[in-house]
Amino acid sequence: MNLKYFFVAILTVLCHWIYGQDNFITNTFNRESTSLNGYWQYIVDPYENGFYNYRYEPFENQSNPGNGAFFNNAKRKGKLDLVEYDFDKMDSLWVPGDWNSQKQELLYYEGTVWYKKSFDYKKADASNRVFVYFGGANYKTDVYLNGKKLGQHIGGFTPFQFEITHLLKDKENFFVIKVDNKRVKEGVPTLNTDWWNYGGLTRDIKLVETSETFISDYRIGLSDKSRNSIQGEIVLKGDNTSNQVVVVKIPELGVYTTLISDNEGRCTFEAKNNKIQYWSTVNPKLYEIQISTKRDDVRDRVGFRTIGTEGSDILLNGKSIFLKGISIHEESPIRGGRANTKEDALKLLTWAKDLGCNYVRLAHYPHNEYMIRMADEMGMLVWEEIPVYWTIDWENKGTFLNAQNQISEIIDRDKNRACVVIWSMANETPRSEARNSFLQRLASFTRAKDPTRLISAALEQKNVEGQTNTRTIEDDFASYVDVLSFNQYIGWYDGGVEKCKKIKWDISQNKPVIISEFGAGAKHGLHGAKDNRWTEEYQEYLYDETLMMLDKIDQLRGISPWILVDFKSPRRVLAEIQDTYNRKGLISEKGERKKAFYTLKNYYESK
């Protein structure tokens, strides 16, 4: 094994162990499963009395935690029993969902909420294994089944899972889950952001049953040597993973190959085929894939495409492409709060399609899997990023491991999705030696784990020394990225709109450039002169002038303006205008299109 990949494998295993994910099943999306979505009882616990005793000692570290520990789901059995909580008498929250948008009294709440769900479960076969899978929970999640701790996960936007076979009963099981969304200095993201800190079990939860030896992971794509060849790797887990027969089928291409797993439960294949239709934004062709063993079967829909750069060009399947994009936050356009359904994804991506987009930047954290799967089906290229946002605790080793684990988990989930073409390392981070080292190590890890995609980051611009109207990118991390991306807000945070006519860029790097953000706030329905901030006319004027300004950048190969839809942020408190919404959306939170929507749409139609 290549030492680089061995190093990545070791780091990945270490991160999964630290963050509570020592078992892994890829593609739970298409496996048969039992949903645990629905109403869960909850207890709000701002002092964490259900986790610590009065000496602030964790109950789980005590040999006899007693009735105070919420994870025991204790019930009063006698007249003298002292139990100061009862989940079954509490109100309920819908899962998946955030608590902020469901309960008005929890709108601004940051802290611990305990969830409880009772269920019965009968395995199909006594030898089978069962896993509980969480699509995401924000931010620190402790999971208990029948009073026993399964583990902890840190990070609000990536999936995690635990094996529960050893604790599962046919009757009267109960999950108790502690979710804490407090912002912390060493966190990823850290204390300061510009989006709502939605807390809770925000994505799907399900039970996945497998055979004792099961298909744990796979990667299938075009060969790195030939566009007319498909290659793949399959990984088995269990007590008997060596010398197992693994069959891979791609019926439409006539691919049928039988493999034998090695001593580590791995097998690889390569299949030449001259009839492959390449996935693209015009023809998002997906092929049915079937991977099976004697007792396990996994199916997926996979597209085959190449992505790369050559000089200042981005090449999709070897041809230059201009990325006509928009940035998107994960808020539901249907009901508000955190987006987490197929319907949410369809609505957001349909709006992007209506705008003329072939590309979306999913900011500022990994979005739910429905968004990625829907983008695959619709032919929408995707930039994914982790919330290394503004000012992270760059010198904290735990912070780095947290960021590394988040990019590792999202690569694990989305590596077989053709739509994902860019992994972003960070957004608007201030330059320093500690920051440079952090991002360089993160990029090196990402390249080693997934060498098939491009690396970028949303950097910042600066003036060329002595030239107030000439901008450049002077950032040590720019030499590590494949695509040079930066945010710019001339006309909003930087002077008036008329300044756009004066600015030019001198970019020395021979790389494709994506403007990852630009924009202006506007309240839908507020009209006035184009030089009057917050009006739709001001936003429209800024888009007109900005697009003409950016077109003068020779290396420009894409843009993703900020942002598709107005989104909630506690930073945005201007009454009667913002009302806790960032108003830079081209569409209001009610689905109303602003004038600048059509300005950008016309620009994309001309490209």
**Average pLDDT over all residues of the chain:** 95
Compute the distance between CA of residue 18 and CA of residue 12 in angstroms, rounded to an integer.
Answer: 10
pLDDT above 90 covers a percentage of the chain that reads 92
Q: Confidence class of residue 26 from pLDDT cuts 50, 70 and 90? A: confident
The DSSP result for 489-524, as a single string, is -BTTTBS-GGGGGT-EE---S-S-EEEEE----B-T
Mean local confidence (pLDDT), 113-133 = 97
pTM equals: 0.94
- Residues 249/255, Cβ–Cβ less than 8 Å: yes
Mean local confidence (pLDDT), 40-49 = 98
Start-to-end CA distance of the chain, whole Å, equals 45
Mean local confidence (pLDDT), 71-100 = 96
**Rounded (10°) angle between helices 433-449 and 397-414:** 30
For the segment 105-115, what is each residue's pLDDT rounded down to a tens digit? Answer: 999 999 999 99
- Residues 72/65, Cβ–Cβ less than 8 Å: yes
344: which 2 tokens?
């949410």
CATH T-level topology, domain 309-567:
TIM Barrel (3.20.20)
Give the number of other Cβ atoms within 10 Å of residue 572's Cβ.
18
For the segment 288-328, what is each residue's pLDDT rounded down to a tens digit? Answer: 999 999 999 999 999 999 999 999 999 999 999 999 999 99
- Residues 203/179, Cβ–Cβ less than 8 Å: no
The length of the chain, given as a count of residues: 607
For the segment 11-20, what is each residue's pLDDT rounded down to a tens digit? Answer: 444 444 443 4
Compute the distance between CA of residue 443 and CA of residue 457 in angstroms, rounded to an integer.
Answer: 10
CATH 3.40.50.150 fits 23-210, yes or no: no
* Of the candidates 452, 317, 325, the residue with the CA atom closest to the CA atom of residue 380: 325
Indicate left, alpha or beta for 13 from its phi (over 0: left) and psi (-120 to 50: alpha).
alpha
The DSSP result for 520-551, as a single string, is --B-TT----TTSTBSHHHHHHHHHHHHHHHT
With a cut of 80, say whether residue 541 has pLDDT above it: yes
pLDDT at 18: 43
Give the number of other Cβ atoms within 10 Å of residue 504's Cβ.
12
Taking the mean position of all CA atoms in its chain, how far away is CA 398?
A: 20
For the segment 422-463, what is each residue's pLDDT rounded down to a tens digit? Answer: 999 999 999 999 999 999 999 999 999 999 999 999 999 999
- Classify 353 as helix, strand or coil: helix
With a cut of 80, say whether residue 6 has pLDDT above it: no
Q: Confidence class of residue 24 from pLDDT cuts 50, 70 and 90? A: confident
Compute the distance between CA of residue 418 and CA of residue 287 in angstroms, rounded to an integer.
Answer: 11
53: which 2 tokens?
């005793």
Compute the distance between CA of residue 112 and CA of residue 150 in angstroms, rounded to an integer.
Answer: 18
Task: Count CA atoms within 13 Å of residue 371 on its CB side.
Answer: 31
Peptide bond before 563: cis, by omega within 30 degrees of 0? yes
pLDDT at 20: 41
Out of 8-22, 266-280, 580-594, pick the least confident: 8-22
Pairing of strands 359-362, 323-328: parallel
Q: How far is CA 54 from CA 17, 43, 68, 457, 514, in A?
A: 30, 18, 10, 45, 54
For the segment 346-399, what is each residue's pLDDT rounded down to a tens digit? Answer: 999 999 999 999 999 999 999 999 999 999 999 999 999 999 999 999 999 999
pLDDT at 446: 98
Rg (C-alpha) for the chain, rounded Å, is 25
With a cut of 80, say whether residue 21 has pLDDT above it: no
CATH T-level topology, domain 214-304:
Immunoglobulin-like (2.60.40)
Mean local confidence (pLDDT), 326-344 = 97
With a cut of 80, say whether residue 2 has pLDDT above it: no
Question: Tell me, what amino acid is at 451?
Answer: P
Q: Token pair 């309920």 is at which residue?
A: 92
With a cut of 70, say whether residue 38 has pLDDT above it: yes
Write down the domain spans for the chain: 23-210, 214-304, 309-567
Compute the distance between CA of residue 506 and CA of residue 199 in angstroms, rounded to an integer.
Answer: 43
With a cut of 80, say whether residue 23 has pLDDT above it: no
Compute the distance between CA of residue 217 and CA of residue 234 in angstroms, rounded to an integer.
Answer: 6
The values of phi and psi at residue 452, to 5°, are -95, 0
Q: Confidence class of residue 3 from pLDDT cuts 50, 70 and 90? A: very low
Selected residue with higher pLDDT from 74 and 64: 74
Q: How far is CA 118 from CA 44, 115, 249, in A?
A: 18, 10, 39
Compute the distance between CA of residue 463 and CA of residue 478 in angstroms, rounded to an integer.
Answer: 16
Selected residue with higher pLDDT from 7 and 117: 117
pLDDT at 63: 85
Compute the distance between CA of residue 218 and CA of residue 117 in angstroms, rounded to an integer.
Answer: 32
Q: What is the largest CA-CA distance in the chain?
A: 82
For the segment 146-188, what is each residue's pLDDT rounded down to a tens digit? Answer: 999 999 999 999 999 999 999 999 999 999 999 999 999 999 9
Where does residue 10 rank: exposed (0-12), middle (13-18), buried (19+ CB within 10 A)?
Answer: exposed
In degrees, rounded to 5, the angle at the alpha carbon of residue 507 between the alpha carbons of residues 505 and 512 is 110
Compute the distance between CA of residue 234 and CA of residue 212 in angstroms, rounded to an integer.
Answer: 16
